Structure 1
Amino acid sequence: MILQPLHFDVLIIGAGLSGIGTACHLRRECPSKKIAILERRSQIGGTWDLFRYPGIRSDSDMFTFGFDFRPWPGLKVLADGPSIRQYLIDTADEYAVSRDIHFNVDLFSANWDSQKELWILQGSNTQSGKPCYYSCKFLISCTGYYDHSQGYLPKIPGAEQFQGDYIHPQHWPEELDYQNKKIVVIGSGATAITLVPALADQAKHVTMLQRSPSYVISVPAFDKLSALLLKFLPKSWVFNFARWRNIKIQRWLFKASKHWPHFMRKLFLRGVRKSLPNDFDMRHFTPSYSPWDQRICAVPDDDFFAAIKSGKASVETGEIKAIDKQGIELESGQQIDADIIITATGLNIQVLGGMQLSIDGKKVPISEKLTYKAVLLEGVPNMSWVFGYTNAPWTLKADISARYICRLINYMDEHQLDICLPVDSEGCAESDSVMSSLSSGYVRRGNHALPRQGNKYPWRLLNNYEQDCKILLQGSIADGILTFQKGKNAIEPETTRLTSNQTEEIATH
């Protein structure tokens, strides 16, 4: 027998950074709404619970990576993964959303039922295997954009012959012993550049093997200016100033990189040159692309460069020919011996956490849809997704997206409206995806799965914090493109609630 769905006003999918932040905003701005967060894992944290490799940390400063309503409680610029996860737990507790999380819920599908004017979600409990069903008036996806079950692993000839440990950082073995081992880290992105100094202290030697270089900049590990200001000014003033300052710096760096790419390229490379030995071969840190065509990697207090200068780590650039029993052979003929190979080769794009979206049983082709103000999906009723920035700290966009969703829900309540639906009546879709501004490998691989970019606002993703703030926080809700309807049915939540015993069966809180 199919159980009646457990009903909520708003359902949030994902208890990571975006999901916890969105739930807190709803608590603050829509306090009358009954909400729940559905999380596949057994703990809060999302990315910061999944990734457990040595040295994991943010690649954005914490004053802007933290929530706007709850400043990051420290002066460490790039925080470690466990600290970020604890920050999320503390935030969820402070805003009383921890009790609203349903853990171990693996969702298969979400279908909008036009007759009931509800979203009906189906899934199963990952521990018991029992089915679970939910319904809601408004659905919010906070699942990010990559597949948590499997990272990207390129097919390398001979990999099966390797006699050592062959590891992807997304699934780091807890008991891995890398002391006095020769390690090769394949990759040149943020994960690889984080792993190298973290492993170098105990390993015999760490080699970062890259096909092509990335831009790397060093940032202070500790905010000395804020530490000084805290001696004279209230804490809230200092943290608000630090957040404002860092947003301005980040935005200037991005804009300058786009307007004066040659100048910024020289500036970034000059910083690298100063951090490395005089005789170091700079081709290992000279990318073929312009700054911010891909994300820029940040390292705290030169730790990555210090590992290289110490001789505990090195960088090699070249194409892999094959892997053999002892290590890696490059196309150049060079052999790199290894006891452990770590494939920091990136992620696989996945939207909505792999859940199938449909309307009245008809599949919604996400990759053919536009996004409205980068928050709602074209032609999909009462559904939004929170998608952070790729050219700035993720949370900057996640915060203002959540605040827009709250504005939208309150507007609909005020005007007694039940359904919102963005409609593209002009055919604004382009062939590129919403992440086409980046040339990273994972973006190219996942282009087919992502929504389309539009040729004009509000269907065009701006990636511009200043403009997005004006649009999402101050712009009119009713603009003639977002359409509204009054509902035909009055669904009483009590008719779709489960008993407490049934609830315990399908969800672990």
Structure 2
Amino acid sequence: MLATAPDFDVLIVGAGISGIGMAAHMRMKAPGHSFAIVERRENLGGTWDLFRYPGIRSDSDMHTLGFDFEPWRHEKSIADAPAILEYLNRIVDERDIRRHIRFGQKVISADFRSDEARWHVEMEAEDGTRSHLTANFIYLGSGYYDYDEPYDPGFQLGAFEGQVVHPQFWPEDLDYAGKKVVVIGSGATAVTIVPSMAGKAAHVTMLQRTPTWMVSRPAKDGFANFLRKILPETLAYKITRAKNIWMQDFTFKVARNKPEKVKGNLRKGLEKAMGKDYDKEAFTPPYNPWEQRLCLVPDADMFNAINAGKASIVTGHIEAFEAKGIRLKSGELIEADIIVTATGLKMAVAGKIAVSVDGEAVDFAKRFYYKGCMFSNLPNLAVVFGYLNASWTLRADINSDYVCRVLNEMRARNIDTVVPVLTPEMEAQIEEDDIYDFSSGYIQRAKHIQPRNGVNYPWRLNQEYVVDRKLMASDPVDDGILAFRRAGANAQRPEEQLEAAE
């Protein structure tokens, strides 16, 4: 092995769901490996700490958004951000992970040096000071969107005399009591904000260019809560999780195979929540269910706000922003004191880190996914990009488990480098597939920066958790594609050494 060890065996980037999940899996399944988590923010939680808008909650049930190893104990399965943060903090403290987290450290660059079999990682603190560490393996739990910059649709807001806020940068002291609020957008964020603000605001209007398919369900999972009363907690969670995974998979496949049937069921749900005379045009998208994510409306909260006259939906295109509100191309003026631009996220790859190998920049758009976890010809690096049609954590769990198996195999063989090898001859045989078969705007806008995707496993990011879980667990780590190598040298200057924290 290496004459001089790196600072850490594994560097985990991000202390959100993905990063915390990987650390917990390492404590259980690869305990002989050292690790550190670097987190750019001052708190853990990722998305659930960053977003502070009213009502912020999960749009997946917590029995699948929760980890496979840690039961979700709250009564509500559609949980708000504070409950999710409590769950993550409990895991971090009970599993002795917190001392391994370095907060306030943004990873700027990572260069893998083949002769040393290690990543040289440059980080920056809030005050601009730089630090450096080394790691044999990097696990990217940095999410999928740009933390610094949301999507900008190019609105010319200068004439508007009121306040403009974006959900990604919500002001702590925003006073909207008794004010007219317009939320631009129709995705999960808008559907969360509208009913949450409707209680205090004079009126909340959701201004949408295109409707979204919506479905109501109880925030509390009666089945899960019943099982917890009669069964041990771990068993009850396992059964509920299996049931919900099956339901996610089933409903997605039915939506894709029998879209008209699903449309009919969704319309029945809307009619039940809002009455037979509900505005069908406002709730009928021009695409089939699950061509974009279905918007979850827990306990029919948004429908109730509309029925009570506290909220409304307007469908139209914006002509201009005026002093007192938004002028539509139809000529209608929607008055507003506050405009919320819930216009979507801007996707990012690898946390916008400048990744390179031996000084040569890595262009992820030229690399193929390998088992939805690693990338072609890129050594000692894994990533999490969750499911579009199911809970994010499902992929985080199976990827963490797989990487732990890889780490243990490396240790057993006394080697320091693993790389999914894709030769030009092999690449020429790959039939490419659309990496995300979804029409959502944030996905379509970012396709040019996304890694490549094959039709067939293992060179793909698949969207079938049940299939992926079986393949990732049953396929041997040494599958003839993942190459195990040993570095030829281990040159490291003394001044680059970093003392590892206990």
**Which residue identity does 2:130 align to in structure 1?**
P
Q: Secondary structure at the match of 2:453?
A: strand
Amino acid at match of 1:417: I
1:402 and 2:400 aligned = yes
Aligned equivalents of 2:140 and 2:379: distance in 1? Answer: 13
Q: CA deviation at 1:6?
A: 7.3
Q: 479-488 vs 83-92, which deviates more? A: 479-488
* Bigger Cα displacement from structure 2, 336-345 vs 484-493: 484-493
Counterpart for residue 308 of structure 1? 306
**1:255-314 CA deviation, whole Å, 9 max, x = no partner?**
111111111111112211221133222110001111111111111111110000000000
**Which residue, 358, 362, 381 being the options, matches 1:383?**
381
- Which residue pairs with 2:237 in the alignment? 239
1:31 aligns with 2:61: no
Over residues 137-168 of structure 1, what are the superposed CA-to-partner deviations in whole Å (9 max), with x where a residue is unaligned? 111111111001121121124x1111111111
Change over 3 Å in CA distance of 1:172–1:309 after alignment to 2 = same
Amino acid at match of 1:40: R
- Which runs of no fewer than 5 residues in structure 2 stay unpaired? none
Task: Give 1:487 shift.
Answer: 2.9
Partner of 2:154: helix, strand, or coil? coil
Same amino acid, percent of matched pairs: 44
Q: Deviations over 1:422-458 (max 9, x none)?
A: 1222225667663x21110000111111111113211
Q: Pick the aligned partner of 2:211 from 210, 213, 216.
A: 213
Asked if residue 467 in structure 1 is aligned to residue 453 in structure 2, the reply is no
CA distance in 2, matches of 1:411, 1:492: 25
**Is residue 2:486 matched to residue 1:486?**
yes
- Aligned-pair CA distance for 1:493: 12
User: Which residue does the alignment assign to 1:447?
Assistant: 447
Query: For the structure 1 residues 491 and 75, does the alpha-carbon distance in structure 2 shift closer, same or farther, using more than 3 Å as the test?
Result: farther
Question: Contact (CA 8 Å) 2:432, 2:455: kept in 1 or not?
Answer: no
Q: Could you say which residue in structure 2 is the equivalent of 1:82?
A: 82
Equivalent residues of 1:433, 1:451 under 8 A apart: no
Secondary structure of 1:323's counterpart equals: strand
Change (3 A) 1:200 1:5: farther
TM-superposed deviation, 1:387: 1.6
Q: Please say if 1:177 is aligned against 2:183.
A: no
Cα deviations across residues 225-267 of structure 1 (Å, max 9, x unaligned)? 2333333222222221111111111111011111111111111
Task: State how 1:130-279 maps to structure 2 within 5 Å.
Answer: 130-157=129-156, 159-279=157-277
Letter in 2 for 1:237: L
Cα deviation, residue 494, structure 1: 9.8
Which of 270, 291, 294 is equivalent to 2:292?
Answer: 294
Secondary structure class of the residue paired with 2:7? strand
Q: Is the 8 A contact 2:132 2:498 kept in 1?
A: no
The 8 Å contact of residues 433 and 447 in structure 1, kept in 2 or not, is answered as no
* Contact preservation (8 Å) 1:123, 1:131: yes
Aligned to 1:372: 370
Find the residue that maps to 2:9 and give its secondary structure.
Answer: strand
Q: Residues 44-55 of structure 1: matches in 2 within 5 Å? A: 44-55=44-55
Matched with 2:103 is: 103
Please give the secondary structure, in 2, of the residue aligned with 1:452: coil
Q: Which amino acid aligns with 1:178?
A: Y
Seen in structure 2, the aligned counterparts of structure 1 residues 328 and 431 have a Cα distance that, compared at 3 Å, is farther
Decide which moves more: 223-232 or 354-363.
223-232
Distance 1:431 1:155, change over 3 A: farther
Secondary structure in structure 1 of the residue aligned to 2:467: helix
Single out whichever of 487-496 and 322-331 deviates more from structure 2. Answer: 487-496
After TM superposition, list the pairs within 5 Å mapping 1:112-123 onto structure 2: 112-123=112-123
Paired positions, count:
496
Helix, strand or coil: the match of 1:107? strand
Cα gap change, 1:230/1:360 in structure 2, threshold over 3 Å: closer, same or farther? closer
* Matched letter for residue 63 of structure 2: F
Root-mean-square deviation over aligned CA pairs: 2.0
Q: TM-score, normalised by structure 1?
A: 0.94
Partners of 1:441 and 1:430 lie apart in 2 by 25
Give the drift of 1:83.
1.1
Q: CA deviation at 1:417?
A: 2.2
Q: Check whether the contact 1:12–1:38 (CA below 8 A) recurs between aligned residues.
A: yes
1:499 Cα offset (Å): 4.9
In structure 1, stretches of 5+ residues that fail to align are: 504-508
Q: Secondary structure at the match of 2:385?
A: coil
